[in-house]
Amino acid sequence: MTFALETQQLTIRFGGHVAVDAVSCAFAPGTLTAIVGPNGAGKTTYFNLISGQLKATTGRVFLHGEDISGCSAPQRSRRGIGRAFQLTNLFPNLTVLENIRLAVQSRAGVGLNLWSVWSHHRELIGRAEEVLETVALTAKRDLAAAALPHGDQRKLEVAILMALEPDVFMFDEPTAGMSVDEVPVILDLIRALKARRDKTILLVEHKMDVVRELADRIIVLHNGALVADGEPAEVIASPIVQEAYLGIEVAK
């Protein structure tokens, strides 16, 4: 079997600090892997190395068995690695719909089209509206992204990723800072995505009940290194998680 995504000895150093330390891990197509670990463990940085936001000091990244270590961030995105950011990362003065349209447009490959008028691309706008519907933001489509409350910004962040329709979805704490009644919208989306079984999902999430329910597998990062990997029940029960991660979870 070719893995959807694989990292080999992926490492990045910031000065003397090793933020991601020789992480080798392969992700089977159609699976959902939760990545857990305390704050500062290197989860976000690991995502940055996979999506190409950061260049690895050493190590390689493979997508569907192909070495993409030399590819730039936009190339990786076009090849099918998509991500939502932990810190909301929107186009603040564009409307909600425009934010999503930009992802739809990239997906459709009409970015360099200079000759047509945007509003005539009905099919792209229709697709953007569809995505908007799934995160229950239709009523706010014409508001500037910056004017949305935090929870809606998080939804928009996820919606942009959904609109991009990559092969590999990376969610970085998608529900962080959301109110309790907003969380299910996001989790339902991820659940539905997982049910399709044609997309590979990486999910950084702190809420253990969520992880236990959604994940096919859990990997644990600690000080940049991969310290545990396995079935959810097994990993959650392991001493290293109890100590390195759940200790913090309980303290919170």
Partner 1 sequence: MNRFVWIALFILGLLVPLVVYPVFMMKLLCFALFAFAFDLLLGYTGLLSFGHAAFFGSASYVTGHLVKNSGLTPELGVLAGTLFAGVLGYVVGSLAIRRQGIYFAMVTLALAQIVYFVALKAPFTGGEDGLQGIPRGVLFGLIDLNRVYSVGGHPLALNLYYFVFAVFCLGFWIIHRTIHSPFGQVLKAIRENEPRAISLGYKVDRFKLMAFVISAAMAGMAGATKSLVFQLASLTDVSWHTSGEVVLMTLLGGVGTVFGPLVGAFTVVTLQSELSSVGSWITVIIGSIFMVCVLVFRRGMVGELARLLKRPL
Q: What is the DSSP string of 17-39?
A: EEEEEEEEEEE-TT-EEEEE--T
Element (H, E) at 164: helix 150-164
Q: Which of residues 34-53 bind Mg ion (CB under 5 A)?
A: 43-44
Question: Does 87 participate in binding partner 1 (rule CB under 8 A)?
Answer: no
Phi, psi for residue 214 in degrees, rounded to 5: -90, -30
Look-up: residue for tokens 């192909």?
66
CB of 251 to ligand ADP, least distance (A): 16
Instruction: Please state whether beta strands 66-67 and 32-36 pair in parallel, antiparallel, or not at all (unpaired).
Output: unpaired
Closer residue to partner 1 (CB): 73 or 183: 73
Radius of gyration of the chain (CA): 18
Residues 95 and 144: beta-carbon distance below 8 Å: yes
CB of 106 to partner 1, least distance (A): 5
Sign of CA dihedral 104, 107, 108, 113: positive
- For residue 168, give the amino acid letter: V
Closer residue to partner 1 (CB): 155 or 222: 155
Q: Residue 218 CB: number of other CB atoms within 10 A?
A: 26
Question: Does 77 participate in binding partner 1 (rule CB under 8 A)?
Answer: yes
Question: Does 73 participate in binding partner 1 (rule CB under 8 A)?
Answer: yes
Question: Does 206 participate in binding ligand ADP (rule CB under 6 A)?
Answer: no
Residues 62 and 5: beta-carbon distance below 8 Å: yes
Closer residue to partner 1 (CB): 39 or 119: 119
Closer residue to ligand ADP (CB): 106 or 223: 223
Q: Which of residues 45-84 bind ligand ADP (CB under 6 A)?
A: 45
Cβ neighbours for 248, distance < 8 A, ≥ 6 positions apart: 38, 39
Burial class (CB in 10 A: 0-12, 13-18, 19+), 22: middle
Closer residue to ligand ADP (CB): 40 or 247: 40
CB of 36 to ligand ADP, least distance (A): 9
Q: Which does 139 bind (CB under 5 to 8 A by kind): partner 1, Mg ion, ligand ADP, none?
A: none
Question: Does 19 participate in binding ligand ADP (rule CB under 6 A)?
Answer: yes
Pick one of 93, 138, 179, 242: the residue that binds partner 1 (CB under 8 A): 93
Closer residue to partner 1 (CB): 10 or 90: 90
Please report, to the nearest 10 degrees, the dihedral formed by the alpha carbons of residues 229, 233, 238, 244 taken in order: 80
Question: Does 90 participate in binding partner 1 (rule CB under 8 A)?
Answer: yes
Q: Which of residues 120-179 bind partner 1 (CB under 8 A)?
A: 121, 160, 164
Query: Which residues make up the interface to ligand ADP (CB under 6 A)?
Result: 14, 19, 37, 39-45
Query: Which residues make up the interface to Mg ion (CB under 5 A)?
Result: 43-44, 86
